[in-house]
Structure 1
Amino acid sequence: MQNISVAIIDDHPLFRDGVACSLSESGIFSVLGQGGSSEEALRIAKDTRPDILLLDLSMPGGGLQAIAAVRRLIPDQKIVVLTVSEAADDVLMALREGVDGYILKGVGSKDLLDVLVGVAAGERYVSPLLSARVLVDLSTRVDRPPKDPMGQLTGRERQVLNLVADGLSNKAIGRTLDLHEKTVKHHLSRVFFKLKVSNRTEAAMVLRDTDGSSDRPAH
């Protein structure tokens, strides 16, 4: 019987264990490792070399950063995103980094297994719900490259970055914008990825250098 090795990276242990159980019980997959951060994603991919690296986007260190780091280290690694994010921006950035699949977390076990079998065989997959949304988003971006780094950010990401530059913690930003702290972390992860920086100080410096103060919310 076919055996496909998988490593699972998700910062929710119960969810991660459930996925691992479903894969192992199928008789098709073997789970080589589990982790909950971008650092662990890189280490596990390097140490175990799974056929497929299955990961979430929202995690300590950032899922997009993990994808980019794994791609640099192991260019032919098959990577599938399993996430709650339906944002076209997340899908586009993940696809640009060369992921082989993008699946929403509401997927059933059988459908997930089918997608992973297909990816192992060389197919690529994006959840049907997201395909049309991504095409529409792409059509609005054609021939309109951003004039500066800040042009890549969504309005919400700019708000978060402005508050970071003001010295607010993630918890304080969440209170100001009425967001969960985990959502703030996800927005920051995307900001870091888009601006090609690795920490809050560097991101604030980019904001300062490009004078994005006009986007500051009142608080």
Structure 2
Amino acid sequence: MFWFFKTADKIEKIDRATSRSFAKVRADIDALSSWVSYLYDENYRLKQKVENLQHIVGSQALEINDLKVDFKNMPKTPSELKKSVESVCDFDRLFRRLRLIEEKIDVLETKAHHVSRPVVHSVSHVPSKPASSSALKDKLMRRLARNSKEYIKNVILGLVNKYGKMTALQLRDIVVDEQGLCSKSSFYRILEEMEIEKVIAPVHEGKKKIFIPAS
């Protein structure tokens, strides 16, 4: 009889130990289940981020390819850049025509001056031809100056884009000395305008100021 109670007590202890073990195993399983769920969610979020990054990289790759094509087709020398711009608008031909018009206006001014002198007192209400011609001349010269400035800006921008960085002196040597597109004072005014307009960006390397393409 004593043996029976002793065996029952052992069985009860084993049962309690087994219950505790199962409870611990269940707790571990619940913890692992929580971690698996958390890791699954994190994996899903990372997968979404990777897909978004792949989409962005794909778009940027297309933009880079387009830029490579544009860069490949860009003029490589100042003369090529000038030809490219002149293919859209022949500035040399325009300059020649404007100079010819200016010469004709000067001739007309001279003739009008001589013709109007004998009747200046008797027909004083007639508008003066020289004044009208001067207004036309000023208008043409303003248009010429505006077109010239835009052309020079395009030349400067093309040089900076091609070489990556250039000093004002290097740009001046090409624009003013080699191509004779404008005077030194006009060149520096145009360069200052481009800097204000943020078409090109100034940076300093030590004491030297250089210009790079605007980002």
TM-score class normalised by the smaller sequence: under 0.3
The alignment's TM-score, normalised by the length of structure 1, stands at: 0.23
Judging by fraction of residues, say which structure has more strand.
1
Answer with 1 or 2: which has the greater Rg.
2
The alignment's TM-score, normalised by the length of structure 2, stands at: 0.24
